[in-house]
Amino acid sequence: MSAKYALTIGINNYPGTDSDLSGCVNDANDWKAALAKRGFKVNQLLDGAATGKAIRGAIREVIAPAKSGDLVVIQYSGHGSFVPDKNGDEPDGTDECICPYDVVTNGAVTDDELFELYSAKTRGVRLVVISDSCHSGTVARMAPILTPPSTTAKFAPTRKVRFLPPAAFLSRRELVQMGMSSRHVASSSPGSPSGSHAALLMAGCQDTEYSFDAWFRGRPNGAFTFVALQTLAKLDPNATYGDWFKAIRAMLPSQQYPQAPNLFGTAAMRRWKVFA
């Protein structure tokens, strides 16, 4: 019988940025509960524990014991952003990234780094990455949220997008280096041919969109996470990731949450049975 390993990461608190979120820790806890119910051994990093160093180490740790045929799931909820490309593999001059708790002091974790970490898995290990964050273009795209509020209470919680503007954590010199971003985080190799994937990636939105941090039934969650877990609970036991994705896309985008989730991976990966 194959083994199942998982890592869930949720970051609400971003010191020094004035851009804290509300639903990411709940996301990580909800994914942990869903995965544990399906037989996964789950490790978790929340808020201050989710530094860049800790995230890199935890990814190595969750992948290391997996053997051919085993399943590894890595989930991340928090801010996404982009940074200057360091190795020249990006036509647009930027690398997409996730933002750890200490992004202001120690920087982001780039898509190049994530791809290398994921590629260290043993051949035959199935790796699924679930990302509920923004990896969209430039600060100019950070328009006001115009869709209706999540609730009608007098002090209704404010929805936010899970995108941290690079100006919040990069130097002026780094900012002037950057153009526009065009890819999602770390599913395929920056320099590899189309179809070469280190993991199957389920992403909360398209490259030019936002993932929303919102409130559901009086509790904060990512819109993508809420919908993904709602549909997961109703899936047929033999459903594939392609089937699950179709169920998610039947609910997102919506009027309130104009984000279109995406599924990145080979045709064979899409046919994998969900968490099986």
Q: Does the structure show a pLDDT above 90 at 56?
A: yes
Q: How big is the chain, counted in residues?
A: 276
Query: DSSP string of the chain?
Result: ---EEEEEEE----TTTT---SSHHHHHHHHHHHHHHTT-EEEEEEGGG--HHHHHHHHHHHHTT--TT-EEEEEEES-EEEEE-SSS--TTSEEEEE--TTHHHH--EEHHHHHHHHHTSPTT-EEEEEEES---S-GGG-PPP-SPPS--STTPPPPEESB--GGGTS-HHHHTT-------SSSB-TTSPTT-BSSEEEESS-TTS--EEEEETTEEEEHHHHHHHHHHTTS-TT-BHHHHHHHHHTTSS-SS-----EEES-HHHHTSBTT-
Sign of the CA dihedral with 186 first, then 191, 192, and 195 last:
positive
pLDDT at 172: 66
What local confidence, expressed as pLDDT, does residue 101 receive? Answer: 97
79 a catalytic residue: yes
Per-residue pLDDT at 188: 47
Confidence of residue 8 (pLDDT cuts 50, 70, 90): very high
Hey, what domains does the chain have and what are their CATH numbers?
A: 4-270 (3.40.50.1460)
Give the mean model confidence (pLDDT) for residues 220-238: 95
Mean pLDDT over the full length of the chain: 81
Interatomic CA distance for residues 168 and 13, integer angstroms:
14
Active site residue 134: yes
- pLDDT > 70 fraction of the chain, expressed in percent and rounded: 73
Higher per-residue pLDDT: 149 or 113: 113
β-bridge mates for residue 41, sequence order: 5
Entry pTM: 0.82
Report the relative pairing of strands 212-216 and 262-264 from DSSP bridges: unpaired
8 Å CB contact between 80 and 96:
yes
CA dihedral 39, 40, 45, 47 (to 10 degrees): -40
Q: Which of 79, 135, 184, 197 is catalytic?
A: 79
Tell me the pLDDT tens digit for each residue of 160-184. 766 666 666 666 666 555 443 333 4
Whole-number pLDDT of residue 235:
97
Return the pLDDT at 64. Answer: 97
With 0-12 / 13-18 / 19 or more C-beta atoms within 10 angstroms meaning exposed / middle / buried, residue 1 is exposed
With cut-offs at 50, 70 and 90, classify the pLDDT of residue 136.
very low
Cα 223 to Cα 27, 107, 166, 217: the distances in Å are: 10, 26, 23, 12
Residue type, 219: R
Q: Can you give the pLDDT at residue 186?
A: 45
Active-site residue, from 97, 99, 134, 205: 134
* Cα distance between residue 7 and residue 244, in whole Å: 20
128: nearest Cα among 228, 234, 23, 46: 228
Say if residues 99 and 168 touch (Cβ distance below 8 Å).
no
Question: Does a cis peptide bond (omega within 30 degrees of 0) precede residue 258?
Answer: no
4-to-38, 197, 207, 272 alpha-carbon distances in Å: 9, 20, 30, 14
Question: Residue 191: what pLDDT?
Answer: 39
